[in-house]
Amino acid sequence: MSARGARSSRRTENAWLVTGLLALVSAVCVTALAVGARPAIGEWPLTLAMFCAMVAAALPTINVVVRRQALNLTLTEIPLVVAFYVLPPISVVLAYTLASLVVQIRRSLAPVKFWFNISRAAAATSLASLTLVALPDLEGIEPGVWGALFAATSVHTLVTLAAVIAVISVVQGWQAGWEVTRNSPPALLAAAVNVAVGLLIVITVVATKWGFLLFAAFASGLALVYRSYTQFLRQHRTLNDMYQLARAMTESGQDGTLVDALLGRVRTLMQAEYATLWLPAQGRYPEVLLTARDDRRGLLDIAVAPAALRELVQRESRALTAGARLPTEPDVRDLLRGHSIKDVIILPLRSGQAVIGTIEVVNRLGDTNHFTGDDMPVFETVAAHAAVALENSRLVDRLRHDAYHDALTKLPNRRRITAALDEAVKIRAPGEVVALLLFDVDRLREVNESLGHSAGDKVLVEVAERLRSRAPSSALVGRAGGDEFLVTLRLESADAALELAGQLREQIRDEMVFDALTLDVDTAVGVAVYPDHGSDAALLLQRVDLAATAAKSVPGSVQLFNAALESRSMRRLGLAGDLRRALDDGSLEVYFQPKMTLRDRRLVGVECLARWEDPAHGTVAPEDFVAVAEHTGQLGPLTEFVLREGLRRSRDWAHGGQPLAVAVNLSARTLTDQHFPARVQELLEEYGVPPQWLTLEIKEAGVLDGTDRPIPTLRRLRDLGVRLSVDDFGTGDSSLAHLRRLPVHEVKVDRSFVQGMATDPGDLAIVNAVVTLSQQFGLAVVAEGVESELTLELLQDIGCEIGQGFLFSRPLPYERLEAWFGAQVDPETISDSELPRLRAVL
């Protein structure tokens, strides 16, 4: 037996103690009456008549429910006053006790309540009779007799009320007993009115026996009035409860407590022991099964009625009832067999034509009370209001969910992540950090442009699923927007955050297969932690964005935020306006770095490099102002400025008898401009420079991005006669085999490998492989970063033909380059048919 069942059993046993005490009191009082009253027993016909009157008076009741107990207000005081006047005391006790016995048998009460009511009736009547006997003998119908009869009846009423309060306190607790005491004044007032009516009957009958007929008619009318008053009270209570229910549903629908407000008030309105709401699983909503019980605070996740009944109601979209005063189908009766259910009403909750769930009430409070057909309209109204409120609540919930979740991936969005991050930083425990990881999906734009946005959406959904499944259970994973995902959680340190970021990045790098297509999608990861990198969510989000941007150019693609990133970002932000002014007023310069043949150190061309010396910002690094140009729409003017300067100088050198090829760097974004090849042709014609004297250099990540997007532009440039070069080769994920399908003429080995050749066998092997394979493909090879004679000799040994670096010259402005020409040319070695031969500066 459960603990709750054991407590209930003990309380029932305590109720028997109260019953026994009342029985003992009645026995003692009857014995005293038998000894002290003369006569003690009256005539049987009159006793029988009063017995019948008492039974008739006990039938119409006003029912007041206090928790699980029912308090009945009846007309029994009226015949009791008359009995006290016309019958000896023991006859009164006998008549009233037998009348109570008949009424209790008719009500089919449980044994403990049955015997309590009998004992209470006997004890109250015997004590009242003993009180009447103890008073001085009074004759006639004088006011003194009225007082004696009123006193005796008052004792009866008070003893009855005290017994009820005692047994309810024992069974339900002292709070329930106090509640009965607090609600007792109406019952006492009704008893006083009944006594007054009884006294009037006594006075009238003493005056004339025919007065009995008048009061018989009056009693019948009074019974109808009592019945009408009972109905009025019930209707008033129902209307008030309906109002409170509708108000509570309206107020709670916005804060997610609708079910709590609904079930408690439905149970009170229907005076039921249980009220249950069932909402089957639907979409993202899980199944809901909650029950309000009258003697329990909060809601239970169980139901008393069998689940088959609810499923039948949902399936057939109709109400089911069972009970002593309700129609009961045989199948329903069979399902209820073995359950402690005396009556039940189950109604469907409808949204349009669909049934979204059920609501039910089980067991009307009070053993003598049952649900009736009159309860159905009220409960159906409640069900209709509940269905509307639930649908509105779900609508609000869907709107709230949509406001805080991404529609594509179903992950929390930036707003939700921001709110969660704000909460997390407020309750951070000592010795831990709140980590924020930003995953930026690389090359998603290329997927969208090459395969369509549906493929890009599949990539995002797959990345979201991988992050969600592989992130720790304590982490909150969300989509910040576009191709960015956020992960926030508590960790012991920033190092742990970096380690987790690296692990997650590797796990989501696995191949993604969509139909017959396999994609390899990488991410750049930025990391920021509280409190090291910010004191609130907004600052952390700003700084993790900076870290993710920096991660795109960091080996390993994971970057922890540091102050230098922010200062660089702020500096770039301030550069935007100044760059536009620099382009307009000619503040930018173009420097030139010589490109040399390595065998005989012939000058074969120069690389044009933009430089910016700003009065406010000082020397601005090219990667900074190029990035600013890319994000502010100034990349086109910047590229054209360098092209114009390079072509103008090439024309001037040709006119001076020193024709030199020029190389200009292009951003990968420039290759997406379909008008760029035409503009290059216009500039070549404007300056009269042969196309083969112009080399356009594109970084490996831009020309070998895994798609065919740059190829049309590259082919149009090649068709113009322009030379094309792959810059910084070896730093990306591509291979030389990819070059075979591209219309390029030259490969530039990245300086990081060239500078490491003398000390790292691996770098030497890479450069050797690039040179060998490139020559087999018919491509020229340029080595960047030649800074020592040893490196020069190694490059010569492996057959590399062209190089550039500080060993020959740093990038120089035009005037210094002219001086460099003059200082380095060996006049006697020059012929009209060859380029100038230069001596290296050691």
**Residue range 597-634, pLDDT digits in tens:** 998 888 899 999 999 887 777 788 888 888 888 878 88
C-alpha distances out from residue 754 to 245, 523, 728, 735, Å: 81, 28, 11, 17
Query: Which of 461, 296, 344, 478 lies closest to 405 in space, CA to CA?
Result: 478
Per-residue model confidence (pLDDT) at position 568:
66
**Residue range 723-734, pLDDT digits in tens:** 999 887 766 555
Per-residue model confidence (pLDDT) at position 429:
78
pLDDT at residue 580 tops 60 = yes
**Residue range 385-439, pLDDT digits in tens:** 888 888 887 777 788 888 888 989 989 999 999 999 988 888 877 888 999 999 9
Phi/psi at 32 (nearest 5 deg)? -65, -40
Per-residue model confidence (pLDDT) at position 842:
32
Query: Which of 630, 635, 620 lies closest to 578 in space, CA to CA?
Result: 620
Phi/psi at 337 (nearest 5 deg)? -65, 130
- Is there a contact between 111 and 135 (Cβ–Cβ < 8 Å)? no
Phi/psi at 405 (nearest 5 deg)? -135, 150
Per-residue model confidence (pLDDT) at position 486:
94
Give the other-Cβ count within 10 Å of 667's Cβ: 19
Per-residue model confidence (pLDDT) at position 682:
93
Per-residue model confidence (pLDDT) at position 827:
43
Q: Which two tokens stand for residue 6?
A: 């054991």
DSSP states along 31-95: HHHHHH-SS-S--HHHHHHHHHHHHHHHSS-EEEEETTEEEEE-STHHHHHHHHHHS-HHHHHHH
Position 573 confidence tier, pLDDT thresholds 50, 70, 90: low
C-alpha distances out from residue 653 to 69, 243, 595, 602, 662, Å: 111, 95, 15, 16, 11
How far is 67 from 365, CA to CA, in rounded Å? Answer: 8
- Is there a contact between 262 and 245 (Cβ–Cβ < 8 Å)? yes
Which residues, in sequence order, are bridge partners of residue 69?
66
pLDDT at residue 444 tops 50 = yes
Per-residue model confidence (pLDDT) at position 284:
74
- Is there a contact between 552 and 524 (Cβ–Cβ < 8 Å)? yes
At which residue do the structure tokens 């005076």 appear? 271
Give the other-Cβ count within 10 Å of 155's Cβ: 18
pLDDT at residue 521 tops 90 = no
Residue with the bigger pLDDT between 841 and 115: it is 115
pLDDT at residue 590 tops 90 = yes
- Please state the pTM of the whole predicted model: 0.52
Range with lowest mean pLDDT among 205-209, 616-620, 742-746, 800-804: 205-209
DSSP states along 117-177: HHHHHHHHHHHHHHHHHHSPP--TT-HHHHHHHHHHHHHHHHHHHHHHHHHHHHHH-HHHH
- Amino acid (one-letter) located at 283: G
Query: Which of 282, 252, 836 lies closest to 594 in space, CA to CA?
Result: 836
Query: Which of 47, 35, 27 lies closest to 92 in space, CA to CA?
Result: 47
Per-residue model confidence (pLDDT) at position 220:
72
E strands, 393-541, where?
433-441, 476-481, 484-491, 512-514, 517-519, 523-530
At which residue do the structure tokens 């006011």 appear? 143
CA dihedral of 812, 814, 817, 822, whole degrees rounded to 10: -160
Residue with the bigger pLDDT between 500 and 30: it is 500
What is the average pLDDT value for the chain, to the nearest integer? 82
C-alpha distances out from residue 821 to 402, 783, 827, Å: 68, 22, 11
pLDDT at residue 836 tops 50 = no
- Is there a contact between 595 and 606 (Cβ–Cβ < 8 Å)? yes
Per-residue model confidence (pLDDT) at position 731:
63
The whole-number average pLDDT for the span 809-826 is 81
Per-residue model confidence (pLDDT) at position 830:
43
Range with lowest mean pLDDT among 49-53, 528-532, 655-659, 836-840: 836-840
**Residue range 282-302, pLDDT digits in tens:** 877 788 899 988 767 778 888
Peptide bond before residue 39 is cis, with ω within 30 degrees of 0:
yes
The whole-number average pLDDT for the span 662-688 is 90
